[in-house]
Structure 1
Amino acid sequence: MTRQYRTELSTFSTWDQRAHAKDWLLYPQNLGPHLSLDETSLSQGELYTILTNKAAKGGKGAIVAIVAGTKAETVIEVLRKLAESQRKKVQEITLDMAGNMALIAKKCFPQATQVTDRFHVQQLALEAVQQMRIQYRWQALDAENEALEQAKLTERAYEPELLANGDTVKQLLARSRYVLYKRATDWTISQQERAALLFERYPDLKTAYELSQSLSHIFENTTTKLYGLGRLAKWHERVRQAGFKAFNTVARSIQNHYETILNYFDNRSTNASAESFNAKIKAFRSQFRGVRNVEFFLYLLTQLYA
């Protein structure tokens, strides 16, 4: 059925962008003042850079450009096919902290304000917490293996320590993954109990969790750049005092991108529309059980969103 649609029923054979579809697609008519720049995988881990128009809200007219790969020089060359006068009308572009994305935005949309997506910043802090949890989990696994080996040597039955909620220490650390992603106000009763046991046993994890949540609080409850700068400076000081290596890395990343991060407080713009569009691509891909023909997949995608 899909083959018949591709060869007979659709306009795929006469598609005006088919010749270069695997390399790039451009829809100049969809260019707008507020854009999102992101990357996504279409098939087998192959990445594509996608430029979308925020005004389309992930619907018809969303796709401005799709370029194979993430190499800045390649994407810049394609986007410069758009009229310079139109590119200069772009006022704002949201993106992540990748250097290639910033270079693309700077070279192709020189008049646009770059805004680092707040969710990418918050994700770094959440991942720092998870990294600490995983380190403690490996320590717990090592301790359990040592205890098992010692029990065998002394011909004793090994009985792991059971906590108040029935978890072993190893299970507590494994099952706390989603607890550390959520706000405390969203925890279920069992998650509250697990968090209490976790933080009592690992106070560093409690401090790290509070650091990640306080960073989210800054973005959610700050209305001006000046106030945002002050609150981020205080957060940096808390990170310094905590002395966590993972969070020091997060703090340095924020410091290196503070100007574009602070631009968020102007219009509170995020890359949420781009992430939503990526989710639609993944859902679309799953309907076809993968991407067998990249050109045809891109054709269908553009019929819906370009």
Structure 2
Amino acid sequence: MASFYNLNGKKLQRQYRDYISEFKQWKHKTHAKQYLIYPENIDKHLSIDETALSKGELYTIITNKKAKGKKGSIVAICAGTKVEPIIEQLLKIPSKIRNKVKEITLDMANSMKTIARVCFPKATQVTDRFHVQKLALEALQDIRIKHRWEAIDRENNSIKLAKQKKILFIPETLDNGDTRKQLLARSRYLLYKAPSNWTQNQDFRSKILFQQYPDIKKAFDLVQNLRNIFNQAKSIKIAYTRLAQWYHQVEISGFKAFNTVANTIYNNYRSILNYFNNRSTNAAAESFNAKIKAFRAQFRGVKNVEFFLFRLTNIFA
């Protein structure tokens, strides 16, 4: 706009912030960097998550799912993830309003669970299924990465030996033209997908990968079995039984990383099973985080946090 009217862009931006936008008269300006609370946006179904606004500084954000990422979405924005200050601010909302909340979706962080339990005591906590699946996927990728480092070491040693013998090093290639190092690197994304979503090349690569590395195949099956529980189980009772069976499969597999995942699920199984009541996820919170990142990108970063929050809450609160 400044360019179109042949104005100084930075000066126009400053004038907009200080005079046109009414930012200086904003009633929340003095405490915006610490907390922003909008009790009128509280509804039966909420999400709680954390996001970085500027320079990696985390903020805890509570959103109203019913608003679908539009006006009325923001219930609270609090600096940091420390439990006590956030609870202190949320408890200023009358208990009658807070008790309206019947369900709140969150990740497996203990801080989020504590905030939800203390501030919204009538709400059922639902652990986001995608955070659970992400843990299992990370355990699978951990096994792939270990094999990749081993393949890189073997190839480097073979190159070194070939130089010592003054011969040309020719790496072993598999049926699809990949070396072992390339196979393990290029299999990263196919392991995130269900087999039904693989392309023809990915399907061919997976057959070679699983033939060469049976432990990756076993770990991949564990991930798919966990995904199928969330997709197919129709009730808490069925899900509980199938999770117990999955836990047993992990114990038999002997994978240390998956044992950690299984123990995490065991410690959070009540809130994980609550997913099967209404099949609620934290997708609304993740979507809202994406909106914040897009908004931040328009600013080319956040120089003035208060002004950023002012514009954010004008649009979404």
Aligned to 2:300: 289
Aligned to 1:12: 23
- What CA deviation, in whole Å up to 9, does each residue of 1:244-280 have, x standing for no partner? 1111100000000000100111111110000000011
Aligned to 2:87: 76
- Pairing 1:144-159 to 2, within 5 Å after superposition: 144-159=155-170
Q: Structure 2 residue aligned with 1:24, among 11, 14, 35?
A: 35
- Pairing 1:37-186 to 2, within 5 Å after superposition: 37-186=48-197
Aligned to 1:265: 276
Paired AA for residue 18 in structure 1: K
- What CA deviation, in whole Å up to 9, does each residue of 1:176-197 have, x standing for no partner? 1101001111111111111111
Q: Shift of the alpha carbon at 1:3?
A: 2.2
Aligned to 2:247: 236
Distance in 1 (alpha carbons) for counterparts of 2:234 and 2:71 = 32
Paired AA for residue 244 in structure 1: F
Distance in 2 (alpha carbons) for counterparts of 1:17 and 1:213 = 48
Aligned to 2:3: none
Paired AA for residue 173 in structure 1: L
Are 2:240 and 1:223 equivalent residues in the alignment?
Answer: no
Aligned to 2:221: 210
Paired AA for residue 223 in structure 1: K
Q: Shift of the alpha carbon at 1:99?
A: 0.7
Paired AA for residue 90 in structure 1: V
Counterpart of 1:20 in 2: which secondary structure?
Answer: coil
Counterpart of 1:18 in 2: which secondary structure?
Answer: coil
Distance in 1 (alpha carbons) for counterparts of 2:54 and 2:178 = 39
Counterpart of 2:61 in 1: which secondary structure?
Answer: strand
State TM-score, norm by structure 2: 0.95
Distance in 2 (alpha carbons) for counterparts of 1:287 and 1:188 = 35
Q: Shift of the alpha carbon at 1:203?
A: 0.8
Counterpart of 2:175 in 1: which secondary structure?
Answer: coil
Distance in 2 (alpha carbons) for counterparts of 1:98 and 1:139 = 33
Q: Shift of the alpha carbon at 1:150?
A: 1.1
Aligned to 2:202: 191
Q: Shift of the alpha carbon at 1:222?
A: 1.1
- What CA deviation, in whole Å up to 9, does each residue of 1:117-166 have, x standing for no partner? 11100110111111111111111111111111111121111111111211
Distance in 2 (alpha carbons) for counterparts of 1:74 and 1:212 = 38
State TM-score, norm by structure 1: 0.98
Distance in 2 (alpha carbons) for counterparts of 1:50 and 1:117 = 16
Paired AA for residue 297 in structure 2: S
Counterpart of 1:19 in 2: which secondary structure?
Answer: coil
Paired AA for residue 57 in structure 1: K
Distance in 2 (alpha carbons) for counterparts of 1:64 and 1:116 = 19
Q: Structure 1: which 5+ residue stretches go unaligned?
A: none
Counterpart of 2:63 in 1: which secondary structure?
Answer: strand
Distance in 1 (alpha carbons) for counterparts of 2:194 and 2:297 = 31
- What CA deviation, in whole Å up to 9, does each residue of 1:21-57 have, x standing for no partner? 0111011100111110100011111000000011111
Distance in 1 (alpha carbons) for counterparts of 2:223 and 2:13 = 47
